[in-house]
Amino acid sequence: MRTKRRKSERNSESETEENGVQSQKRNDTSDSSIDTDENNKKDKENESDESEDQSSQLNRKSSGKKRLSRGRQSEEQKTTPIANSKQTSKSKKQQLEDADEMKSSADEENGNVTRRGANKRRKKDEVKTEQKTSPTSSRGAADGEQEYEVDKIVGHRTIKGRRQFLVRWKGYGEDSDTWEQEKDLNCPKLIEDFLTEDAETEETISEKSAKSIKIKSPKADKKKDIKKSKHNKRQSNLSEEENESDSAIKNDESQKEFEVDKIIEVHFKKNKKREFLIRWKGFSAADDTWEPEENLNCPDLITKFMEKVEKAKTTDMRQLRTNPTHTKRYTLSTHDSGRRLSRRHMDKQSMTEHNFPVLQNDRILKTIRGEPVDRVPVWIMRQAGRYLPEFQEVRAKHDFFDVCQNPSLACEVTLQPIKRFDLDASIIFSDILTIPQAMGLTVEMVPKVGPVLPHPLNDPSDLSRLVKPEVEKDLKYVGDAITLTRHKLEGKVPLIGFTGAPWTLMGYMIQGGGSSTMAKPRTWLYKYPNESHQLLELITDVVVDYLVMQVKAGAQLLQVFESNGDYLNDELFSKYSLPYLMKISNEVKAKLKEQNVMQVPMIVFPKGVTMDSLEMLAKVQCYDVIGLDWTVDPVEARNRLGTNVTLQGNMDPCALFATPDNISLRAHHMVEVIGKSRYIANLGHGILPDTPISSVEAFIKGVHEWGFFLRIFVRMESPLPHIIESADCDSTIKPKDRLVSLLDQIELHVEQLRRDAWRLEEEKDTLLSTLDTIRNNELLGFLEEPDKDDVLRYAERLSMRCLTVDVLVKIQRDNVQQEALHQVNGLIDGLIVNLRQDPSGTRQKCAAFMNACSSQAIGHSDKNFETAILGCTLDDQKRVKKRLQGLLDYIDKMHTIEFHNVLILHNMNIKEDA
């Protein structure tokens, strides 16, 4: 089949307005007969169609260029299918058009873009006018036309109700396909076959992909309507018929109905009308829209939603928070879009809303509150560190501070010990020197050296280099790591956040790293006392904000490391450490309360401070837990710090290099000495880098073995078992095994009885000692004789009643142990004999005996006494140590009374002389 193909129509898409004017001047005489007014009218109509033609021009651009190329090849008489076909002679007008096409193509290559659509319409109308008005012109046009044969139809489209087809020409390839108007084609059979085949194909594809078709959202329709309205304003010269067509399409889209899934929020306007934030069925939260109530057809949903709103007005604020078990999790700083939070308390909810998993192991939190637990909780300082092979793999790929500042890596390292060991707490992987970094100082981690600050604070003038950081921004990576780790832990154990104490951070910032003396920062305390306080105040403010941020991010406990506490004596500790530790605790708790964030327990670890400093720290009652380093006697610490504070520690980290059996025995003994109540097992400092993994396992095992017995004791609230009851047990167990099991239970009761007897004996001795102190109290000197006698008789009566309780736990000893105890008692009796003659020397020797009883002694110890005491049983060692402590207290008390009497006598002599 053949069809007429107007070359002027196909080539006109690259012509400009200027070329069109020139082409009109070169037309033959028949073109000049067209009325000028009619041409102007046509020009206006063509300009209104410009917007439509631009889309079709883009589709025909590539094919038009190729046809121009073929046209030039025809002129140069190259061998092509068009050159070989029979052609009629060209008219003058067509020759001029060919020249214009070549010029237009050159302009287009140079980037000169003009109004091609108007020229195209103008030339089409000129051809039509020629055919209507001038027979000569019509014949000329007919002479210039060629006929090409249609091979097949490969596509179709409709523009403004006019159907066009993509034609594959016979003898040409795919590159020469062109869009042609239906009226210009003379192949009805091919068109009919194509439309039938296309309809069947569309129906099949529609059935297969109906579910995958993206549905336009209500919000998208609104945007489309807005764009259409703006587009319609720009095209104000469209004909009435085209406007009606566009209006019909727009009305069809606006009449679509969408189903309401749920109502998210309500807004009351000034005219008391309501608007609702709607979640549409089948659409995401990104498509939520505000709709007036009159546009909605869901009265039931509106009624139910308003009932919830009214109920919320009378509900307690805490009940408005989203239930974590029914909401999606989100981490870090992003909220799900479209998520509803109460508008009235949005600021408070966003601070604590992380939807963390429920905590399953709260053993350490119960211990801190003084509640009974099934076993002693245990964790290890620096438990996520260099002794782990998996940590070494991470460090081989990343720098230390890169790990700290990458939440994903910090989370991974934090979880490593939890996956390997049966621990009761995790501590976020970070470093105390993140605060000096945030304050403007450079911190480097040098291998085999530790942290180094290459530009420390040399004198007070360097304080101007420090800045107060925005913790929420500059240390955000720590909060992100905490939040991520809380989710990854899945509630297995609590997560501990931490910081360095002000004095410890000040030491690193001035010394420039670790030191065996910390001479430079200690010099500051004496040389620049005011500037030292100024620096400590600045660090404290940052520490407070840092800890509050960690709690808001998900930390369930906080620990403050005073790692450089051993460089401070009691005076310096009370002046430069204790006040700032107190301020941290008080202000953190106050800010958490102010921001409606749940309070968390706080731990302080004052490494190396004296027992007097520990006692000062316990008296202020700012911290829930006090950590003990390996140099502190835990029994003395418990006696002096009291039972209302939880202790943590304190095995020597170097003890983990002993044999596994020895480590387990030491851990068991440590728990037994300190006691099961208000105690958290830990090391006396951070674990050393080359500690064997088997040693860590042995340490945890030793603590848990004690926990096994503790768990049995807790359950022994029922009466003692009987043999008859035991006979009713499973018949598959042998009789001997049943009896042995019964004896095992009785043995546990016997051990508990002995422990209770020990406790009663200690309590009896404590009461007698207290009564003896009252009888020697200096307040008695201010009483009249009758009143003094009444008090002394009262105390004596209580002492006699206390002595009526006879509690004695006998100890089984062999001959060697009996001889060792006899030798120890002889040495102590010698002290008592010499007490009256030499009280000062006796006290010094008694202190040496006490040091010999302790493995963590500070000061001189008597080697003879140490040899004798090691031969005694463990129970005898406890009694001897207790006896020596009582003797020391008695000597100190007598010395105080004697000094007081001397002072009174001295004052009396002064008065007589006056």
Catalytic residues: 382, 386, 395, 431, 508
SS3 state of residue 872: coil
**Contacts (Cβ under 8 Å, ≥6 apart) of 22:** 100
In the structure encoding, which two tokens stand for residue 494, read together?
A: 């609590």
Closest CA to 696 of 660, 671, 666: 660
Q: Distance between CA 91 and CA 401 in Å, rounded?
A: 83
Contact status, residue 612 vs residue 570, Cβ threshold 8 Å: yes
Contact status, residue 273 vs residue 302, Cβ threshold 8 Å: no
Closest CA to 87 of 145, 171, 4: 145
Q: Distance between CA 338 and CA 324 in Å, rounded?
A: 17
Burial class (CB in 10 A: 0-12, 13-18, 19+), 548: buried
Query: DSSP states of 733-753 as a string?
Result: S-HHHHHHHHHHHHHHHHHHH
Q: Residue type for 259, please?
A: E
Contact status, residue 675 vs residue 643, Cβ threshold 8 Å: no
SS3 state of residue 711: helix
Contact status, residue 39 vs residue 118, Cβ threshold 8 Å: no
Q: Distance between CA 401 and CA 415 in Å, rounded?
A: 18
Which residue is associated with the tokens 């009940």?
319
Contact status, residue 42 vs residue 102, Cβ threshold 8 Å: no
In the structure encoding, which two tokens stand for residue 555, read together?
A: 């930390």
Q: Distance between CA 135 and CA 911 in Å, rounded?
A: 152
In the structure encoding, which two tokens stand for residue 740, read together?
A: 């042995």
Contact status, residue 893 vs residue 776, Cβ threshold 8 Å: yes
**Contacts (Cβ under 8 Å, ≥6 apart) of 636:** 611
Instruction: Enter the DSSP assignment of 576.
Output: H
Closest CA to 751 of 662, 875, 655: 875
In the structure encoding, which two tokens stand for residue 367, read together?
A: 């211990």
Query: DSSP states of 47-112 as a string?
Result: HHTHHHHHHHHHHHHHHHHHHHHHHHHHHTT-S-HHHHS--PPPPHHHHHHHHHHHHHHHHHHTT-
Sign of CA dihedral 632, 633, 639, 640: negative
Burial class (CB in 10 A: 0-12, 13-18, 19+), 29: exposed
Strands 178-181 and 162-169, by their bridges, are: antiparallel
Closest CA to 883 of 703, 708, 732, 761: 761
* CA angle in degrees (0–180, nearest 5) for 157-158-162: 130
SS3 state of residue 266: strand
| Cis-peptide, bond into residue 825, ω within 30° of zero | no
Q: Which residues of 201-232 are buried (b: 16+ CB within 10 A; e: fewer)?
A: eeeeeeeeeeeeeeeebbeeeeeeeeeeeeee
Q: What is the dihedral of CA 44, 48, 53, 55, to 10 degrees?
A: 150
Number of Cβ within a 10 Å radius of residue 8: 22
Closest CA to 429 of 390, 485, 474, 470: 485
Q: Residue type for 234, please?
A: R
